[in-house]
Chains A and B, each alone.
Chain A
């Protein structure tokens, strides 16, 4: 297992190794970069940035765990990481979709920020696993009974339609390559209803693991400090490396 905690903060934004543990730490690693060393008037200085914000300066190059701990202690740094945009690549008119008739697979849609890539991949794994029901309608694919608000049927349909947009646009061949001959998109609305419901429930749970619920969605903002710490957490793609049925092609 790669230790992200002990790794010095890199000079550019980076993706943590697939087997680097820590849910919040992995998000933090995608948010920050370290510049320096620069020689100031008094001493060598390293600067930690998140986007355009300077979080803090320090005399030695921090590790990711050290930088996260320091940012939590400093009021300005903490505040900078407490209100981050939830959507990118969209304008105000397409920021919120609340009914089926707004769904279209033309153009593009809002995407979550790079720092939440792990969330995107967890949901993609959930969709992948749900598709096994095309071969086995009695697939054991549990939903979520506790820890989330119940998901109404109409929201299940909205979520499935939203997921379908990208499947319609991003077709691949049988090897996962972006070349011809491409396979049709998986028709998620043809999955058994129980599977569709479980998928929507899992999506709600995944968002909640990153501290994102209805209030954050309405505000269009999320906080690093609401992401579960989960120090031992690993993405499922790392947990499945080398196993039969693992997620090839990541």
Chain B
């Protein structure tokens, strides 16, 4: 109710007023972000008077610094993506992808998967809508793989905690998996494994009135996205950083190194196998990722685990079973598992 009343207030504003608020917010954001290290230093060392040499101080410093940093990044990027997404509706994406058969279609679908608004509960209507609208099966899969796997929360967390190189690599490899898996599914001609009724149903023409959004509307939709996402994931972020902080000040143990480290060749495939039936959203998995990495697991193994958990899940397969035959589901899982395993080995080689 609280959120609603704020939205009501903003709604009454004119564009110029909204722009003033946004500018003020951005200024505030930049000032805090640029000075976060100074603020943390003075809080930890001067106000709290802690000894910089102690492990506990380092852990507290890490926590006080990282929580606002990641939340600031999250707010800004979710806001930006929220606005970008108002320009992409699934209907528009379907039109862009209709009839595209080649590799180019898979690339476009994967990229659109990142910016088109997507919620896993809409996966089935979206799948059906695409297929019935003439989007090839392989291209549809590229979209359905990219959409949940490459999301802003995962990227921001990777960026905030492990640096931009890791975030970029995650995005690039995620896109590659989506493009390649979709291409292979398209090449294999698996249409026969889609439940028959799907191709018999004809997409009804939408009578929905075309939405005309003003720029003001788009900004407000961006704000709504921030409220929706930040209120859902902040707790996971705090837990993740808490785990990270708990380990940060202390010497990392090599507890996981023997079975999730680089030297164990079977660590990547077993992490993938373990991750497939598990399900969590991107935010929920981060605390686990933090803990594993800090205990000596290698980045490739952990990323493979993370991708398997986010990209493939038992509940998702059960939902997909409504439209896909069981053979198709196994092929889908197989292709994804191989792709993710390759990415895992690649990261282990690179780092």
| A and B associate in one complex | no
